[in-house]
């Protein structure tokens, strides 16, 4: 069958790979350009699954394994003495970012995946677009897809006014071999997502597949995150290394100052359950992620199109980034294959609605974090979302359709 046209995809992570797989299946000539060298490492670490994610994987033709991750039977919240203060039943598989990434990556031929290609610029001419890379290469193509994440260079060029907004809090993260945690703690936490509440933000953690996607006891990893309110000064302090350099796009784990990590460990001792404190203590190299979100107003810019986190980044509480990226990509491939502007317009309108709903859901879940609400409505919302019963049921729910409020 004759090719339907050429597509250059900027970014070879989740959205880029899903787009490439869907477009290849519809007979487009696809090339991915990724700025990193080699394979990507565990970007999001733990991923809570739901039927939308399985649908997305199946639509992309990914062969589902019988076991996609670790079974979790529900959520529990510990008080600061280590007693369970709340429980919610929610059966869910906790998979890992790496496991899904490797599934997808295998399906793209080596010759169509170009590592070490960092996009610098774009130019448009009639029905084509030319991408220029930092290494001097360039490519001219029928369509260009910006799948280059929250700090997208494609978006910077086509929609420079849309930038990520700091949410007023950051996330401490850890991903460690389960054998580093005392066995009695792993046993107590192994079949559920665990939560703890501290002033300024909640902690959560769960077991995920280990290296080489191992799921058996003794070979898994434990993935955790602790959200902490941090104003601009505190953010600046967290992201500044011992040489005084400020890493505004995120600080590499090995450069986080020891005293910043010590304060976090001291606060864990003070506010969190002893089981949780042991997990934090066992994490030699915790890392930091400032929380941002934003919404795009437009996704199609002549021949360049935004998908995944480049289009909308929702806060991670929703646990939907991967399935959103997958549906952006597979529905875009369908729209492009129809080869008429109306289909592309319809695609853009439906993905704008979905993206806005995901961002709003993340803001609702994070409404008690960050700067204190002052007006009565926001205060009431914050109080509602910090209740254990809400937090445990709504965070990365196995039924996201219940919480996504789509505009008509």
Ligand X SMILES: Cc1cc2nc3c(=O)[nH]c(=O)nc-3n(C[C@H](O)[C@H](O)[C@H](O)COP(=O)(O)OP(=O)(O)OC[C@H]3O[C@@H](n4cnc5c(N)ncnc54)[C@H](O)[C@@H]3O)c2cc1C
Site residues (CB under 6 A) for ligand X? 10-16, 33-36, 40, 43-44, 46-48, 97, 117-119, 147-149, 153, 171, 225, 289, 308-310, 316, 319-323, 325, 396
Residue 326 C-beta: closest distance to ligand X, Å: 9
Nearer CB in complex with ligand X: 49/240: 49
**φ and ψ at residue 97, rounded to 5 degrees:** -55, -45
Determine the angle formed by the axes of helices 14-25 and 321-338, rounding to 10 degrees.
30
Residue 273 C-beta: closest distance to ligand X, Å: 21
Q: For residue 19, with 0-12 CB atoms within 10 Å meaning exposed, 13-18 middle and 19 or more buried, which class applies? A: buried
Q: How many residues does the chain have?
A: 408
Which residues, at least 6 apart from 346, have a Cβ–Cβ distance to it below 8 Å? 335
Which residues, at least 6 apart from 375, have a Cβ–Cβ distance to it below 8 Å? none
Nearer CB in complex with ligand X: 276/322: 322
Residue 288 CA, distance from chain mean position: 14
Residue 101 C-beta: closest distance to ligand X, Å: 9
Residue 169 C-beta: closest distance to ligand X, Å: 12
- The answer to whether 242 and 311 are in contact (CB under 8 A) is no
Residue 186 C-beta: closest distance to ligand X, Å: 20
| Closest among 291, 371, 78 to 198, alpha carbons compared | 78
Residue 372 C-beta: closest distance to ligand X, Å: 23
Which residues, at least 6 apart from 340, have a Cβ–Cβ distance to it below 8 Å? none
Q: What is the 3-state secondary structure (H, E, C) of 239-295?
A: CECCCCCECCCCCCHHHCCHHHHHHHHHHHHHHCCHHHHHHHHCCCCCEEEEEEEEE
Nearer CB in complex with ligand X: 13/240: 13
Q: Which residue minimizes CB distance to ligand X?
A: 321
Residue 318 C-beta: closest distance to ligand X, Å: 8
Nearer CB in complex with ligand X: 321/355: 321
Beta bridge partners of 125: 128
Residue 340 C-beta: closest distance to ligand X, Å: 26
Which residues, at least 6 apart from 61, have a Cβ–Cβ distance to it below 8 Å? 21, 25, 107
- The answer to whether 220 and 214 are in contact (CB under 8 A) is yes
Residue 394 C-beta: closest distance to ligand X, Å: 14
Distance CA 315, CA 363 (A): 7
- The answer to whether 389 and 398 are in contact (CB under 8 A) is no
Strand order in the sheet with 128-133: 119-125, 128-133, 138-141
């Amino acid at each position: 069958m004759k090719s339907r046209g050429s597509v250059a995809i900027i970014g070879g992570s989740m959205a880029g790979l899903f787009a490439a797989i869907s477009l290849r299946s519809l007979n487009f000539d696809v090339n991915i350009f990724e700025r990193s060298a080699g394979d990507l490492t565990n970007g999001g670490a733990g991923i809570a699954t739901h039927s939308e994610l399985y649908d997305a994987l199946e639509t992309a033709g990914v062969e589902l394994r019988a076991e996609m991750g670790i079974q979790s039977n529900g959520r529990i919240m510990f008080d600061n003495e280590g007693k369970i203060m709340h429980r919610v039943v929610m059966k869910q598989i906790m998979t890992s970012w790496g496991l899904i990434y490797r599934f997808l990556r295998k399906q793209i031929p080596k010759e169509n995946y170009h590592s070490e290609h960092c996009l610098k610029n774009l130019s448009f001419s009639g029905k084509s677009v030319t991408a220029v890379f930092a290494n001097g290469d360039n490519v001219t193509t029928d369509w260009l897809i910006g799948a280059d994440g929250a700090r997208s260079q494609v978006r910077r060029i086509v929609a420079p006014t849309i930038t990520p907004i700091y949410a007023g809090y950051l996330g401490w993260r850890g991903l460690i071999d389960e054998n580093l945690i005392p066995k009695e703690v792993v046993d107590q936490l192994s079949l559920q997502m665990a939560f703890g509440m501290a002033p300024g933000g909640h902690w959560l953690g769960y077991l995920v597949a280990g290296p080489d996607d191992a799921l058996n006891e003794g070979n898994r990893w434990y993935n955790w995150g602790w959200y902490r309110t941090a104003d601009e000064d505190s953010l600046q302090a967290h992201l500044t290394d011992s040489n005084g350099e400020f890493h505004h796009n995120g600080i590499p784990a090995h450069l986080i100052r020891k005293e910043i990590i010590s304060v976090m460990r001291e606060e864990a001792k003070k506010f969190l359950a002893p089981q949780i404190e042991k997990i934090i203590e066992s994490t030699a190299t915790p890392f930091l992620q400032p929380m941002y979100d934003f919404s795009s107003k437009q996704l199609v810019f002549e021949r360049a199109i935004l998908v995944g986190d480049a289009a909308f980044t929702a806060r991670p509480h929703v646990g939907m980034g991967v399935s959103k990226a997958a549906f952006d990509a597979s529905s875009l491939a369908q729209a492009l294959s129809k080869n008429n502007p109306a289909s592309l317009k319809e695609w853009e309108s439906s993905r704008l609605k979905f993206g806005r709903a995901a961002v709003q859901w993340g803001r609702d879940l994070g409404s008690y974090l960050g700067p204190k609400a002052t007006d009565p409505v926001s205060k009431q919302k914050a109080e509602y979302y910090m209740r254990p019963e809400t937090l445990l049921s709504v965070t990365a729910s196995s039924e996201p359709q219940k919480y996504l409020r789509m505009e008509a």
